[in-house]
Amino acid sequence: FLKKIKLKDFIFKLNSIGCLNDRNKYKQALKRYYRKHLRNICEDCKRRYTTNPLRLLDCKNEKDQEIKKGAPVLVNYLCKHCEEHFKKVLEYVEELQISYELDSYLVRGFDYYSKTVFEIFFVESPVAIGGGGRYDYLIKFLGGKLTSGVGGAIGIERLMEIVKLHQINLKIKKKPEIFIAYASEKSKPYTLFVYDLLLRHNINVAENFAKNSLTAQLEYADKLGVKYCIIIGHQEMGSRSVILKNMLDKTQETIPLDVLIEELKRRLK
């Protein structure tokens, strides 16, 4: 989204807060550490120590910030599954060439978060303009079945201040003419890289990465009425190419990645 509106100087702060079991173990370790510092922390932190130990990490008090530097970090308490999940998330982020920092004390403010959490900053501003994360437990907390989800929020006022500062002219985009789909889980990181490449060259591209089935993705492309669909499988990943499918006559051909942008712009004239 930020790239689509031509904002570049942003950075993601990322962390994994694991599953409930991981966090329970970490909370105990955190309390053991802060027990030695109870006399020195602020009154708010003394309350948090009892009610919600994770919130100790959010304190902005300068003295408490110094104490936090010696606190245990949550990633050292992740189970094997959560550790592997976080490695996969970082792999995707790196494939997209997104600048990020690992923030071992980032926990966010809601109990229903699990695994990945993030906040978004601009280089010139110390204040987050957005944040979010994954939640495996929210639907169950509300009485439903255990259902995974992901969400985030952006502070519109802060964002618009930055847009004005950078003198960015926001335009309403036309409906997409290109759709991008991946054929296998292994080809997903490369697909994300190609998707990001298209965005950086101002090509209006749509996707439905939430769908694992290629058939379901192509059905969605049909509904959008796009002219072309880029399809990427294991073979294309190995040869650094893509399949370009004409959605009108259903013909398709292989296009090398290094000429893809030029070819798409020529066809979309």
In a domain, residue 110? The reply is yes
Domain count for the chain, please give it. Answer: 2
The CATH number that applies at residue 235 is: 3.40.50.800
Sheet holding 100-102, edge to edge: 100-102, 10-16, 114-122, 130-135, 149-154
186 in the same domain as 95: no
The DSSP output letter for 24 is: H
186 in the same domain as 157: no
In a domain, residue 170? The reply is no
221 in the same domain as 120: no
In a domain, residue 119? The reply is yes
141 in the same domain as 182: no
User: What's the CA gap between 148 and 136, in Å, rounded?
Assistant: 4
Task: List the domain range (segments joined by +) for residue 40.
Answer: 10-163
In a domain, residue 2? The reply is no
> pLDDT tens-digit profile of 169-222?
666 567 899 999 999 989 999 999 999 999 889 899 999 988 889 999 999 999
251 in the same domain as 120: no
56 in the same domain as 158: yes
155 in the same domain as 250: no
183 in the same domain as 142: no
In a domain, residue 54? The reply is yes
List the one residue out of 27, 61, 70 whose CA is nearest residue 41. Answer: 61
Q: Which pLDDT score is estimated for 207?
A: 94
Q: Which pLDDT score is estimated for 127?
A: 75
List the one residue out of 268, 235, 267, 227 whose CA is nearest residue 254. Answer: 235
139 in the same domain as 51: yes
The CATH number that applies at residue 80 is: 3.30.930.10
213 in the same domain as 137: no
Which pTM was predicted? Answer: 0.69
- Tokens at residue 208, please? 């439905």
In a domain, residue 168? The reply is no
Give the residue from 103, 128, 163 where a domain finishes.
163
Residues of the chain with pLDDT under 70: 1, 3-7, 109, 124-125, 166, 168-173
91 in the same domain as 31: yes
